[in-house]
Amino acid sequence: MSTEAQDLIDARGLFGRGMRLVGSYIKAHPKPFVISVCGAFTFAVASVGVTVALGRVTDRVLRPAFGKGVSAGTVWLAIAAVIGLAILRATGIGVRRYYSGVLGSAVGATLRERVSDRYRDLSLAYHRATPTGELLAHVEADVEAAIDVLYPVPFAIGVMFLVSFAMVSLVLTDPYLTLVGLLMVPALAILNRSFAIRMQGPAQRAQERIGDVSSVAHESVDGALVVKALGRERAEVERLRDKAQQLRKERTDAGLVRAGFEPALEALPSLAITVMIAVGAWRVSTGAVTLGTLVQMVTLFGMLAWPMRFIGWILSELPRAVVGHGRIAGVLEQPITIERDAEPVVLPDESLDVRAEALSYEFAGVRVLDEVTFNVRANESVALVGPTGVGKSTLAQLLVRLDDPTSGEILIGGVNLRHVEARSLRRAASMVFQDSFLFANTVAENIALDSNASRDEIERAATIAQADRFIRALPKGFETVLGERGHTLSGGERQRVALARALVRKPRVLILDDATSSVDPTIEAEILVGLRAELKTTLIVIAYRLSTIRMADRVLYLERGRLRAAGSHEELLAGEPGYAAMVRAYERGER
């Protein structure tokens, strides 16, 4: 098959996909579309009515006015007819514009909601593998690209009504003028085919480059401290400039294609008007049509010149819309590894034990956890320890089902985690990470975080987390607004606020993933003592400090992804050489 033939098939396929895409949008939100089309129909009827009125006014008012004259009543009647039709036309435009905006906004909100919902359902592996800038591009730039084609659709339908009415009017008036009008249809089809073939490639590449630019910009801003500390400002600027230049090139290529298409589309009605005036003048000279009829037809095609641009807008936006929606579809088609039961189980309202049975997990072809089995009794305190990279954080994330294991199972309160209702699990189990994320909101809101906690409960959680003293020292106490990511607080203060956020939910299973690493050892000891005294919770702590390990009821020692030993600190120190060597290293580090 030749390249030209393949391009033609691709262009037809692109147009068909674009039309199906628009149809799916309309099907999802039919009401604003129908109202908008009604406005467009009113616009079309009124537009034709205005041209007919102008033709009648020319023949029955203007021409007689230069001869025997006309009465004042006839003049006022003509003015009223033209103004009334103009007001009706303006009303149709207002209705069409407003409800096409409503339609576009509703579709955009639906797409963003679907992408956001899928982001929540996708595993951590997907989020680790996808740059943040790419994720943002899907819910912003790609959604905008996918729906921009929708806004002119009601008007384009109105233009089709207008063209249809114009053709009927022409057929009833004069066959020669009809022929001039019909010449626009095949010309428009030829333009559309040529444009679709040339536009698809640049449109797709431009959308991909937007994701690249967003990723680099997000990394540079998010890592501003590292960039400044290492003096990488110029390197980051160059990296962003390189990606921006690639985006500029693709958009310039797309602009060049559009620059050739849009003037041709705009010139088409003007050319038709020029030919119509020439043919119409000849027909008037022969007496076949009146001057008013010619004025009517020329005015009608003059009205078509600007609306025809909207058909061109649809044609020019179709490739970008198909590409943008294709990138969104790529997210929506990602397999969900965390399956939800149709009838999930609610965890019992009592203290909960945690069990892992033959638990294995693979990421990127590497086995991170290998046949791990253990049991943490209800209200027991366990320290999870081991060298860096043995899967401790991965295990903690599996325990709150941020991902599912490759094989084996986790049971909380005797219920397989795969069968537990998500909301019930979030109420029962909380996890605090080493990297504490805080929102640009008040301290109280950061702790409550939609938990409907009272002020007393917020302050009690802050007290247990040893955060109440520094919070009360802030300018407005609990009502102090934190900077983005909580940058106005120290690392240890952020960790204590994050811990209070977990405690305010009164979890029955609490997992601390090195969540007090930036806290002073004395304060950390006070926190752990407070947790044991104030809360009845099953506590699992990923620990790197001997003081933390010694306070645990038991220790689970991981090595190379396997559970090497379990028991008290003293038992492991005496019977497990690897654990003893790690403890000695910790002791040297704490001196």
- 261 and 392 in one domain? no
Indicate the pLDDT class of residue 36, thresholds 50, 70 and 90.
Answer: very high
- 299 and 197 in one domain? yes
- 571 and 519 in one domain? yes
Domain assignment of residue 271, given as a range: 18-332
Q: Which two tokens stand for residue 484?
A: 């983005």
Of 332, 363, 387, the position where a domain reaches its end is: 332
Cα–Cα distance measured from residue 119 to residue 86, given in angstroms and rounded to the nearest whole number: 49
- 385 and 415 in one domain? yes
> Average model confidence (pLDDT) for the chain?
80
Cα–Cα distance measured from residue 444 to residue 447, given in angstroms and rounded to the nearest whole number: 5
Cα–Cα distance measured from residue 252 to residue 168, given in angstroms and rounded to the nearest whole number: 41
Closest to 411 measured CA to CA, from 381, 379, 375: 375
Whether residue 345 is contained in a domain is answered as: no
Question: CA-based angle 193:199:202, to the nearest 5?
Answer: 165
Question: What are the pLDDT digits (tens) for 122-134?
Answer: 877 777 778 777 7
The number of folded domains in the chain is: 2
Domain of 108, CATH number, reads 1.20.1560.10
Whether residue 10 is contained in a domain is answered as: no
- 170 and 263 in one domain? yes
Of 332, 367, 401, the position where a domain reaches its end is: 332
- 214 and 172 in one domain? yes
Per-residue pLDDT for 21 more than 80? yes
- 396 and 298 in one domain? no
Ordered DSSP codes for 34-96? HHHHHHHHHHHHHHHHHHHHHHHHIIIIIHHHTTT---HHHHHHHHHHHHHHHHHHHHHHHHH
- Residue 7: the pLDDT is 41
359-363, 404-408, 445-449, 523-527: least confident range: 523-527
- 479 and 407 in one domain? yes
Question: What are the pLDDT digits (tens) for 423-481?
Answer: 888 888 888 887 778 887 888 888 888 777 888 888 898 888 888 888 888 888 888 88
Per-residue pLDDT for 341 more than 60? yes
385's torsion region: left (phi>0), alpha (psi -120 to 50) or beta? Answer: beta
Whether residue 255 is contained in a domain is answered as: yes
Question: What are the pLDDT digits (tens) for 240-288?
Answer: 888 888 888 888 887 787 777 777 776 776 777 788 788 888 878 887 7
- 293 and 376 in one domain? no
Closest to 304 measured CA to CA, from 277, 278, 269, 279: 269
Whether residue 347 is contained in a domain is answered as: no
- Residue 588: the pLDDT is 67
Question: What are the pLDDT digits (tens) for 494-541?
Answer: 888 888 888 888 888 998 887 777 777 778 778 888 877 777 888 898
Cα–Cα distance measured from residue 137 to residue 140, given in angstroms and rounded to the nearest whole number: 5
Of 301, 332, 363, the position where a domain reaches its end is: 332
- 541 and 474 in one domain? yes
Whether residue 11 is contained in a domain is answered as: no
- Residue 316: the pLDDT is 64
- 426 and 281 in one domain? no
Domain of 386, CATH number, reads 3.40.50.300
Whether residue 344 is contained in a domain is answered as: no
CB 376 within 8 A of CB 414: no
Whether residue 432 is contained in a domain is answered as: yes
- Residue 589: the pLDDT is 58
- 252 and 369 in one domain? no
User: What is the percentage of the chain residues whose pLDDT exceeds 70?
Assistant: 85
Whether residue 13 is contained in a domain is answered as: no
Burial label for 306, CB within 10 Å (0-12, 13-18, 19+), is exposed
